[in-house]
Structure 1
Amino acid sequence: MNYFRSGEGLALAAAVLFALLVLVYPLSLLARVGITQDGMLSLAPLLEALGSRSVLRAFFHSLESAFLSSILSLIAGTGIALVMGLTDIRWKGVFTFLLLIPMMVPPHVTAIAWIQAMGPSSPILRSLGMAPELGATHPLYSKGGLVFLLGVQHTPLVFLVVLAALRSLPREMSDAARIAGARSMGLLRRIILPLLAPTLIAAYALAFVSALGNFGIQALLGIPARYITLPVLIWQRLASFGPSVLTDVAVIASLLAVLAVTVILVQTLLLRRTRNTLIGPPQPPLQIRLRRLRIWTEGALAGLVFATLVLPVSALLATALVRTYGLPLNAETITLDNFTEVLFRQAVTARAFLNSSLSAGVAAVVISVGCIFVARFMASRRGATRRTGMGIATLAEMTYAIPGLVISIAFILAFLKPLPVLNIALYNTLGIIFLAYLCAFFSVGLKPVSAAFVQLDPALEEAARIAGGGYMFRMRRIFVPLIAPAAASGAILVFLTAYNEVTVSALLWSSGNETIGTAIYNYEDGGYTTLAAAMASVTIVATVALMVALDRLGKNAPRGVVPWRI
Structure 2
Amino acid sequence: MRGQGGTAQGVLTALALALLSVIVAAPFLFILAQAIFPKIGAGSFAGPFSAMADVLGSGQLPRATLNTLIMGVGTVAVSAALAVPLAAIRALYRLPGAALWDLVFLVPFMIPPYIATLGWVMTGQPRGYLEQLTGQNIAGLLFSVPGIVIILGLHCFPVVYFALSRSFATIGGRFADVSRVFGAGPLRAFWRVTLPLALPGLAASLILVFAMAIEEYGTPAVLGTRIGFRVLVTGIDEAIGDWPVDLPGAATLALVLVGLATVAYLAQRRFVAKGGFETTGARPLSATRRPLGQATVPALLLFACVAFVSTGVPLLAVLATALAKTVSGGLAPGNLGLQNFAAVFAAGSSAREALVTSLSLGLVAALATGALGAFSAFVVVRTRARGRVAVDLLAALPNAAPGVVVALGMILLWNQPWWPVTPYNTLSILVLAYVLLLLPQPVRYTTAALAQIAPSLDAAARVAGASELAMARRILLPLIFPHLMVAMLLVFVVAARELVASLLILPVGHQTIATYIWRQFDQGSVGLGMAMALVTIGLTTLLPLAVLVAARRTEDIG
Structure 2 length normalisation: TM-score?
Answer: 0.87
After superposition, residues 201-280 of structure 1 pair within 5 angstroms as: 201-241=203-243, 244-265=245-266, 276=277, 280=281
After superposition, residues 543-554 of structure 1 pair within 5 angstroms as: 543-549=540-546, 552=549
Once the two structures are overlaid, the 10-residue window that deviates more, 292-301 or 409-418, is 292-301
Q: Distance in 2 between matches of 1:455 and 1:281?
A: 22
Q: 1:303 and 1:295, CA in 2 relative to 1: closer, same or farther beyond 3 A? A: same
Where structure 2 has 5 or more consecutive residues not aligned to the other structure, the ranges are 39-43
Residue-by-residue CA offset, 1:345-387 (whole Å, 9 max, x unaligned): 674322322221122211111111222233333433x5446x7
Q: 1:84 and 1:478, CA in 2 relative to 1: closer, same or farther beyond 3 A? A: farther
Cα deviation for residue 283 of structure 1 reads: 5.5
- Code of the residue aligned with 2:263 in structure 1: it is T
After superposition, residues 439-478 of structure 1 pair within 5 angstroms as: 439-478=436-475
Once the two structures are overlaid, the 10-residue window that deviates more, 399-408 or 117-126, is 117-126
- The question of whether the paired residues in 1 share the 8 Å contact of 2:117 and 2:151 is answered with yes
- Code of the residue aligned with 2:212 in structure 1: it is S
Once the two structures are overlaid, the 10-residue window that deviates more, 399-408 or 155-164, is 155-164
- The question of whether the paired residues in 2 share the 8 Å contact of 1:235 and 1:506 is answered with no
- Code of the residue aligned with 1:116 in structure 2: it is M
- The question of whether the paired residues in 1 share the 8 Å contact of 2:204 and 2:271 is answered with no
Residue-by-residue CA offset, 1:120-159 (whole Å, 9 max, x unaligned): 3434752xx31437xx946412222111111112112222
State whether structure 2 residue 371 is matched by structure 1 residue 369: yes
Q: Which residue of 2 aligns with 1:483?
A: 480
After superposition, residues 277-292 of structure 1 pair within 5 angstroms as: 280=281, 286-292=287-293
Secondary structure of 1:14 counterpart:
helix
Q: Distance in 2 between matches of 1:74 and 1:282?
A: 32
Residue-by-residue CA offset, 1:86-139 (whole Å, 9 max, x unaligned): 33224333322221221232111111111122233434752xx31437xx9464
Once the two structures are overlaid, the 10-residue window that deviates more, 95-104 or 358-367, is 95-104
Q: Which residue of 2 aligns with 1:141?
A: 143
Cα deviation for residue 14 of structure 1 reads: 2.1
Q: 1:288 and 1:555, CA in 2 relative to 1: closer, same or farther beyond 3 A? A: farther
Q: 1:140 and 1:555, CA in 2 relative to 1: closer, same or farther beyond 3 A? A: farther
Q: Distance in 1 between matches of 2:275 and 2:45?
A: 38
After superposition, residues 246-395 of structure 1 pair within 5 angstroms as: 246-265=247-266, 276=277, 280=281, 286-292=287-293, 293-344=295-346, 347-380=349-382, 382-384=383-385, 388=388, 391-395=390-394
- Say which of 97, 100, 111 aligns to 2:117: 111
Secondary structure of 2:505 counterpart:
coil
Once the two structures are overlaid, the 10-residue window that deviates more, 49-58 or 314-323, is 49-58
Q: Which residue of 1 aligns with 2:194?
A: 192
- Say which of 506, 509, 512 aligns to 2:506: 509
Secondary structure of 1:253 counterpart:
helix
Residue-by-residue CA offset, 1:421-464 (whole Å, 9 max, x unaligned): xx223222211111111111001222222232333344433443
- Say which of 40, 47, 58 aligns to 1:52: 58
Q: Which residue of 1 aligns with 2:41?
A: none
After superposition, residues 495-506 of structure 1 pair within 5 angstroms as: 495-506=492-503
Q: Which residue of 2 aligns with 1:399?
A: 398
Q: Distance in 1 between matches of 2:164 and 2:400?
A: 18
- The question of whether the paired residues in 1 share the 8 Å contact of 2:91 and 2:289 is answered with no
Q: Distance in 1 between matches of 2:178 and 2:162?
A: 29
- The question of whether the paired residues in 1 share the 8 Å contact of 2:201 and 2:276 is answered with no
Q: Which residue of 2 aligns with 1:561?
A: none
Q: Which residue of 2 aligns with 1:563?
A: none
Once the two structures are overlaid, the 10-residue window that deviates more, 100-109 or 264-273, is 264-273
- The question of whether the paired residues in 2 share the 8 Å contact of 1:215 and 1:232 is answered with yes
- Code of the residue aligned with 1:50 in structure 2: it is L
Secondary structure of 2:291 counterpart:
coil
Residue-by-residue CA offset, 1:500-542 (whole Å, 9 max, x unaligned): 1112222111322322111111111222211111111111111
Q: 1:10 and 1:96, CA in 2 relative to 1: closer, same or farther beyond 3 A? A: farther
Where structure 1 has 5 or more consecutive residues not aligned to the other structure, the ranges are 559-566
Number of equivalences: 544
| Cα RMSD, aligned residues only | 3.3
Q: Distance in 2 between matches of 1:196 and 1:176?
A: 12
Cα deviation for residue 492 of structure 1 reads: 0.5
Q: Distance in 2 between matches of 1:260 and 1:552?
A: 35
Residue-by-residue CA offset, 1:532-559 (whole Å, 9 max, x unaligned): 111111111112213533663786899x
Q: 1:285 and 1:21, CA in 2 relative to 1: closer, same or farther beyond 3 A? A: farther
Once the two structures are overlaid, the 10-residue window that deviates more, 494-503 or 352-361, is 352-361
- The question of whether the paired residues in 2 share the 8 Å contact of 1:416 and 1:425 is answered with yes
State whether structure 2 residue 4 is matched by structure 1 residue 2: yes
Q: Distance in 2 between matches of 1:424 and 1:333?
A: 52
Q: Distance in 2 between matches of 1:480 and 1:11?
A: 16
After superposition, residues 87-126 of structure 1 pair within 5 angstroms as: 87-123=93-129, 126=132
The answer to which structure has the higher helix fraction is 2
State whether structure 2 residue 18 is matched by structure 1 residue 17: yes
Structure 1 length normalisation: TM-score?
Answer: 0.86
- Code of the residue aligned with 2:90 in structure 1: it is M
- The question of whether the paired residues in 2 share the 8 Å contact of 1:489 and 1:553 is answered with no
Residue-by-residue CA offset, 1:154-199 (whole Å, 9 max, x unaligned): 11222233345456x577xx64664675575455334433333222
Q: Which residue of 2 aligns with 1:426?
A: 423
Once the two structures are overlaid, the 10-residue window that deviates more, 155-164 or 521-530, is 155-164
